[in-house]
């Protein structure tokens, strides 16, 4: 990736436009969606925009909590 592209991706990430940054990474580095997302998250960490522990984990804990709540309701209704 050329320097101008790197700066453009970094600027988008700083603005919170992660999806746009991923699109540019896919185009300029010929990456798959998964690889471009991982690269964008790596850049966010390198730029100090997120903690390394937060990278790539958005929504995971929420899904677990929702699943636990649904299972609890099912248990209460059927049990």
* pLDDT reported for residue 51: 78
Instruction: Determine the Cα–Cα distance for residues 2 and 46; give it in Å rounded to an integer.
Output: 18
* pLDDT reported for residue 79: 67
**Could you give the dihedral angle defined by the CA atoms of residues 66, 43, 37 and 52, in that order, rounded to the nearest 10 degrees?**
-30
* Residue 15 confidence (pLDDT) above 80: yes
Q: How far is CA 47 from CA 36, 71, 73, 77, in A?
A: 16, 40, 42, 49
Instruction: Determine the Cα–Cα distance for residues 14 and 61; give it in Å rounded to an integer.
Output: 24
Segment 20-73, tens digit of pLDDT: 999 999 999 999 999 999 999 999 999 998 877 765 555 566 677 778 888 888
Instruction: Determine the Cα–Cα distance for residues 66 and 21; give it in Å rounded to an integer.
Output: 30
* pLDDT reported for residue 22: 95
* pLDDT reported for residue 62: 67
Q: What is the pTM of this model?
A: 0.64
């Amino acid at each position: 990736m050329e320097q101008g592209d790197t700066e453009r991706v970094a600027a988008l990430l700083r603005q919170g436009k992660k999806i746009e940054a991923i699109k540019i990474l896919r185009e300029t580095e010929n990456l798959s969606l998964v690889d471009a997302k991982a690269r964008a998250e790596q850049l966010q960490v390198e730029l100090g925009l997120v903690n390394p522990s937060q990278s790539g984990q958005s929504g995971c804990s929420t899904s677990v909590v929702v699943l636990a709540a649904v299972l609890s309701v099912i248990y209460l209704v059927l049990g």
